[in-house]
Amino acid sequence: PTLMLVCCSLLHSFYDRLGTIPRLLISVKSTYMKCKYQVHNNRFLQRSFCHVADKDENDLKVMFGDIVVYTGLQNADPCTARGCLWPKSSDGNVYVPYRISNEYSQRERDTIIQGLQSFSRCTCIRFTPRRNQRDFVDIQCRSGCYSFVGRRGNGQVLSLNRRGCVYHSIIQHELLHALGFNHEQTRSDRDEHVRILLQNVIRGTEHNFWKIQNSRNLGTPYDYNSVMHYGRYAFSSNGQPTIVPVPNPDVSIGRANQMSPTDILRVNRLYGCSTGMNWDCTYNPNWPAISKCQLKKTGY
């Protein structure tokens, strides 16, 4: 059975290059965590799905795939209902200090900065280099890709491992966690839009598919194209889907290369951005600029 699973995984890898089968899970063990690295999209991106660690790293525990919490902290209610938003400045912007570890190469650092600055083109969020602020996002190369949800106080780790996490969509994904957003498929209304097949989920990782009751959906529809949505084969134990869209099972999920218009809309609504418009930010890695945005004349 083990050999068959490996062969199936290799086939998934081959077909993923062709863009037909979107997921391959590779187990990676480290001193502190057991991670599932998920290869996805045609660029062979890897996203970490780290479940409960054998040993806590600085008393941290990773839940919901890439959301980190302090041990003992319950994760039952949406963080934003507990007052964990980043403060708004008198000029209407939300300044979020950050620090980037010197472990990254210049190219990796540039990619991270591109992801940080992409928010300023679409929202009132302004990620700014930390000076002497007490609270800040501390971007480090640790085991996998993960973040706290919302502002937690002091330097809160956001991990972007150099092997698989330094990509635009993943950087935006983890930064959205830091701003207070959970995964799309944890929404309170998710059962109307996707079916979770727990029988195909790796034993011991079922918590990654918990649903958040009374989630703050901000008056927005369920978004299959959200950069916060898991892929069809996330945490699969047998190569079979773990998430299937309903009523149309063929809808593509978990393949976003950047924030969707709905992701951007939610940031603007959550933080009360006063642009009065909805920005559509299109990222292209070939552009010398960070992103190219076109203003859509639709209110939010």
Q: Which residues are annotated as a binding site?
A: 173, 177, 183
Q: Which residues are annotated as a binding site for Zn(2+)?
A: 173, 177, 183
pLDDT score at 238 = 96
pLDDT score at 5 = 44
Catalytic residue among 57, 103, 108, 174: 174
Note if 103 is an active site residue.
no
Strand partners, 50: 35
- Which tens digit of pLDDT belongs to each residue from 3-21? 444 344 444 433 333 332 2
Q: Which domains does the chain have, with CATH numbers?
A: 61-179 (3.40.390.10)
H or E stretch covering 115: helix 106-122
Residue (of 252, 67, 86) closest to 174 by Cα position: 67
pLDDT score at 215 = 87
Could you tell me if 178 and 147 are in contact, meaning their C-beta atoms sit under 8 angstroms apart?
A: yes
Torsion of CA 123, 125, 127, 132, to 10 degrees: 160
Q: How far apart are CA 229 and CA 207, in angstroms?
A: 16
Pairing, β 45-50 against β 24-29: unpaired
Residues of the chain with confidence (pLDDT) below 70: 1-82, 275-300
